[in-house]
Structure 1
């Protein structure tokens, strides 16, 4: 099954699988982005982070493999009179062609062997002093029933980030949090929070 087929099957249901509120960690760090910043949302799904960022006055682009998810995003943006650029693309096919002041992601499903390319693309797509803000499910999420993949190869370790960003200003922490994100993410969860500054 392709990424598009997988996510379309999830997003084809009524409503918003992960709700319409932004990821709380991303929302808490938005103040680090400069006014009017150009921001890229990776694996953005139905658009909860993109809508939030556009409302804050940022220039937002959203990438996702699901055309159904992006159509929901576009409909909400239209209703709220927001301008958001959408790109329907599997992140494994993403190439770093543009520069952004900020890149955000919440709960990307990426296999271990595909992450080096993803991390490189994030690096190459950040402007000098650009910021990456991300929240990911850790391998310890297998102990919780609040959401996320049940395949350990799609879950993350702190070392995944620290090894790749050893020479960057990267703040990487694993912690337990309480998720309240639509039907898809509810309850106690083990997450890895990443804040990367491209200095």
Structure 2
């Protein structure tokens, strides 16, 4: 199992990481309607989802491997007068009791490892999520450009490569899946909606594209 490596958020130049993902509004309204309150932002980065869900009235815990990111989030939360509990930790070993959270966002996080690390992290997510709780998770598809051109990168295992084109995640592992992998890995979950695979293009270089799966999952008893 490869050692986890944090993003170097000090090199981030993308303001988009401060804006909640477009799914956040739907998730917040859906989860509130189901009476969910205890929320975990797994791999919170600079804290865009933690801030958003705290403002929506959720009780928020945020974890990340980057101390820089957590310091940024703590300062942001203080300015917004929000109570967000933060902790530095590895997703392979979450510092929470079983069945601690009603809902979890795992946005562009769990795939930053190899195959064994992904399986271990997923077990941790299942462990801390309550039965009948829900998980929103994003995974990189094997249909994305970087996996189809994996010869340009160092390969860790058949599903994992090290990418090096972005300073914030240089030499951070990337684990890829297809729909059959999703069927196999998420047997202990029901799909709230069918898996969605979507592609984002670099409009200046449309030969490069990033394809992800978005999953909303319900944990079975």
* TM-score, normalisation: structure 2: 0.72
**Structure 1 match to 2:69:** 69
**Structure 2 match to 1:40:** 40
What residue ranges of structure 1 are gaps of 5+ in the alignment? 145-149, 181-186
Secondary structure of the corresponding residue to residue 87 of structure 2: strand
Worse-superposed segment, 48-57 or 154-163: 154-163
Counting matched residue pairs gives 185
Residue 122 of structure 2 corresponds to residue 124 of structure 1: no
Change (3 A) 1:155 1:25: farther
What residue ranges of structure 2 are gaps of 5+ in the alignment? 148-152, 161-173, 203-207
**Structure 1 match to 2:218:** 197
Change (3 A) 1:119 1:36: closer
Larger Rg: 1 or 2? Answer: 2
Structure 1 residues 136-174: Cα deviation after superposition (integer angstroms, max 9, x where no partner): 222223359xxxxx6651233133332122242125524
1: CA distance, partners of 2:10 / 2:24 = 25
Structural mapping, 1:126-145, within 5 Å: 126-143=129-146
| Structure richer in helix, relative to its length | 1
Worse-superposed segment, 57-66 or 13-22: 13-22
The structural deviation recorded for 1:22 is 1.0
The structural deviation recorded for 1:115 is 1.4
